[in-house]
């Protein structure tokens, strides 16, 4: 009987501890994460979407994805690769949104735009989404928390992501570039947590002159990670077979740093990513402890 009482007290303490943690972090949303949940095609939130006209100012339009449930959510802005628009990585928008984010998938003014221009357009799209959140007729009315923003993008969109994070206002909390390309290699002043998704056989943005350089130039005081998919090319984010692992790390990164949700920390550093290295999903893994 005494043992049962002790177990009941311990369980009660755990429940109170979890409740206290959730109360301490008002941004924590959704159930406790699992590998299977993060690798699934959709998360726990139902999602809606609306098109953004190409006539908007500052960028080329795109799509807003958002949780249909009431509430305020972090905003993620995703920039497309060179010679492409958001449809080339369109799966990523609803995937991230279904874990409790508003996501703006950006089309650019010209598919030939370089990272510097894409970064400016990424910032314009962020402002657009924030403005939409203040309009009662918008489907994202009151849904965007302008203090918590994340950025992502593929190829030159990934380079734009790093530039935006380096040069950004303080409301940008996390960056997750995918096989990023940038002629600017200096990220010694980057203070936004950055997780870089690279692919081993990338011959367009070779890791030795792009992703690895970006990781190495980011200061050790900044939370950072380098995840390299084994045997994959520069276009790995466009391959459906890679969606589970890329989606898992992108969502976990934004949940950890945009939502400040420490439940996701084990998915970014330690035994769980080491398992992806051990099962040969990754050819290389580097983190600074996060």
Please say if 155 is a catalytic residue: yes
β-pairing, 47-52 vs 73-79, is: unpaired
Which of 234, 259, 269, 276 is catalytic? The answer is 234
Catalytic residue among 88, 152, 155, 211: 155
CB count within 10 Å of CB 188 equals: 10
Please say if 65 is a catalytic residue.
no
**With 0-12 CB in 10 A as exposed, 13-18 as middle and 19+ as buried, what is 44?**
middle
Active-site residue (options: 202, 259, 261, 276): 202
CA torsion, ordered 115, 117, 118, 124, to nearest 10 deg: 150
What sections of the chain are H helices per DSSP? Answer: 2-24, 35-39, 92-97, 115-132, 156-167, 211-217, 243-257, 271-278
d(CA 221, CA 133): 34
- What separation, in Å, do the N-terminal and C-terminal C-alpha atoms of the chain show? 43
Is 241 part of the annotated catalytic residue set? no
Instruction: Give the tokens for residue 12.
Output: 């009660």
Catalytic residues: 155, 202, 234
């Amino acid at each position: 009987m005494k043992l049962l009482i002790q177990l009941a007290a311990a369980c009660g303490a755990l429940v109170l501890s979890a409740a206290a943690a959730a109360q301490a972090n008002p941004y924590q949303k959704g159930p406790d994460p699992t590998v299977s949940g993060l690798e699934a095609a959709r998360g726990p939130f139902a999602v809606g979407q609306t098109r953004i006209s190409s006539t908007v100012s500052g960028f080329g339009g795109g799509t807003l994805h958002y949780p249909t449930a009431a509430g305020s959510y972090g905003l993620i802005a995703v920039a497309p690769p060179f010679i492409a628009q958001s449809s080339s990585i369109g799966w990523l928008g609803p995937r991230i949104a279904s874990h409790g984010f508003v996501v703006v998938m950006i089309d650019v003014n010209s598919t030939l735009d370089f990272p510097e221009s894409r970064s400016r357009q990424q910032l314009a799209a962020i402002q657009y989404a924030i403005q939409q959140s203040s309009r009662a007729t918008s489907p994202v009315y009151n849904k965007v928390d302008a203090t918590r923003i994340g950025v992502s993008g593929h190829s030159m969109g990934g380079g734009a992501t790093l530039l935006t994070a380096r040069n950004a206002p303080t409301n940008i909390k996390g960056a997750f570039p995918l096989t990023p390309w940038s002629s600017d290699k200096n990220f010694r002043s980057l203070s936004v947590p950055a997780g870089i998704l690279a692919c081993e056989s990338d011959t367009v943005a070779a890791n030795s002159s792009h992703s690895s350089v970006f990781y190495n130039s980011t200061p050790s005081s900044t939370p950072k990670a380098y995840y390299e998919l084994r045997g994959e090319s520069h276009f790995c984010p466009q391959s459906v077979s890679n969606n589970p692992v890329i989606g898992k790390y992108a969502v976990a990164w934004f949940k950890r740093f945009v939502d400040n949700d420490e439940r996701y920390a084990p998915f970014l550093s330690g035994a769980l990513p080491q398992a992806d290295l051990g099962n040969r999903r990754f050819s290389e893994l580097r983190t600074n402890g996060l």
